Amino acid sequence: YFRLPVPARLIITILSITLLFGTIIHLIEPEQFPTVFDGIWWAIVTGSTVGYGDYVPLSTTGRIIGMLLILSGGGVITFYIAMFSAYTVKHEEDLSDGKV
């Protein structure tokens, strides 16, 4: 795991977090999140701060899980988006410098 490049590990981290939180919320609120995929969709939509509101936890326990996802997982996805942005810019600059 540690020999993988940072972006690959981060993608694995994001997938792990969304899989983890998606499964937990599916187990805690099976009526609101009928499938694990519903939970994963909610975890990505929440962690990226898009927050459609199509899936929302209703119980106190579910909301505390949601708060933990927002405060911790959100940081990782936000960082990934920032890093992806940086790569986009770098790639654009390399293109304009004729390196690619």
The binding site for a second copy (CB under 8 A) comprises 2, 6, 9-10, 13, 37, 41, 44-46, 48-54, 56, 60, 63, 66-67, 70-72, 74-76, 78-82, 84-86, 88-89, 92-93, 95-96
Cα–Cα distance for residue pair 95/30, rounded to 1 Å: 48
Told to check if 78 binds K ion by CB under 5 A, we report no
Distance between alpha carbon 7 and the CA centroid of its chain, in Å? 14
Partner from a second copy, K ion, none contacting 36, C-beta within 5 to 8 A by type: none
29: left (phi over 0), alpha (psi -120 to 50) or beta: beta
**CB of 48 vs K ion, minimal distance in Å:** 9
Q: Is 86 exposed, middle or buried (0-12, 13-18, 19+ CB in 10 A)?
A: exposed
**CB of 82 vs a second copy, minimal distance in Å:** 7
Cα–Cα distance for residue pair 54/51, rounded to 1 Å: 8
Find the binder of K ion among 51, 67, 81, 88 (CB under 5 A).
51
Q: Which stretches of the chain bind K ion, using CB under 5 A? A: 51
